[in-house]
Structure 1
């Protein structure tokens, strides 16, 4: 898209914005219907300003989304700086959420197999960890865990590729650990077998490691 095409798109957006402006009244230099023409022009100016705000906000959101997508796919702040031509500190200041994404992605990337293995053990022994209360919620979490594991096995297969959402598998894996696994561990009851106790201990270890590795450090 060139500049002219972008201008036309913004103009169409401005035309769609509904605004009201006060008529400043007649001017001594008005000729004919110039007061009405001026009011229309002021309305267009107001609409252009509103369209500008919308474009800036939308562009900012799109840029932030693209930056996050790149970091979920393993890009570092240095990689982003090479694109923006500004420092890593500038990227960190503009998109403060990228630091957390980078830490989570880096840890997840090094522990895909560990997560699937230990979460799988927990799913296998879930019946022996059922609590005496909130059993319905517990069963729902177990179902979510098993569904998440099946999705991970598909998403992280050697030939897996999602052209439309290339980073979604990392978001899903993070959600599996940080939400589903965490809530399931918190809700689990006393283990009814040594195997269940081992599965719970292993899954808890994964979560503790995740929390430690993804915590913000003082220099960040």
Structure 2
């Protein structure tokens, strides 16, 4: 986008901003309707300042979103530094959540098949893990697990379509481990079969490994 076009868009935004500016009154050097012209100009200045703040906030949000998406898609802080022209330390300071995203994405990228396997075992043996008390809540988590597995199978297939949110599959996989599998483990009852016990034990190991690898002090 050319600077001239950007300026035109900002001008249009400013025209829609409603502001109230106190008329400072007449000046001794006023000629004709200069007081009214001055008051209108001051109002435009106030609208421009308000628009500047809104545009800066929107641009910052867009930049933050794009940086997070890039890291979810495997970009390193060094990659961001090359694009922004700033140091990796500056990126960490400006977007502190990127460190957590980087650790999670790195771990998830190396364990997609392991996650799918253990989550699949949990889903298969959910009936044999359901507790007597709180069974409805547990089975709801199991349903969410199966739905998450179906989405992941589609999203990570070789012929998966490219949607409007290219990083969604990684966030969904992260939620599958950190939220859905974790809740099933926390609410499961005593395993009714050895196979169910193996599934629960394996899933507990996956979540524990996830926690170990993604905590901040592990970098």
TM above 0.5, yes or no, is: yes
Long gaps (5+) in structure 2: none
Describe the superposition over 1:135-171 as per-residue Cα deviations: whole angstroms up to 9, x where unpaired.
2221111110000001111111112232421111001
Alpha-carbon distance in 2 for matches of 1:18, 1:210:
50
Secondary structure at 1:145 match in 2: helix
Count of residues in Structure 1 that have an aligned counterpart in Structure 2 = 219
Alpha-carbon distance in 2 for matches of 1:130, 1:9:
57
C-alpha displacement of 1:19: 0.7
Aligned to 1:16: 16
Alpha-carbon distance in 1 for matches of 2:124, 2:92:
41
Aligned to 1:206: 206
Root mean square deviation, CA, Å: 1.0
Q: Are 2:177 and 1:180 equivalent residues in the alignment?
A: no
Long gaps (5+) in structure 1: none
Aligned to 2:33: 33
Alpha-carbon distance in 2 for matches of 1:78, 1:208:
29
Secondary structure at 1:217 match in 2: helix
Aligned to 2:164: 164
Secondary structure at 2:27 match in 1: coil
Moved more, 206-215 or 127-136: 127-136
Alpha-carbon distance in 1 for matches of 2:12, 2:193:
67
TM-score, scaled relative to structure 1: 0.97
Secondary structure at 1:166 match in 2: coil
* Correspondence 1:120-159 to 2 at 5 A: 120-159=120-159
Alpha-carbon distance in 2 for matches of 1:100, 1:137:
29
Alpha-carbon distance in 2 for matches of 1:70, 1:181:
26
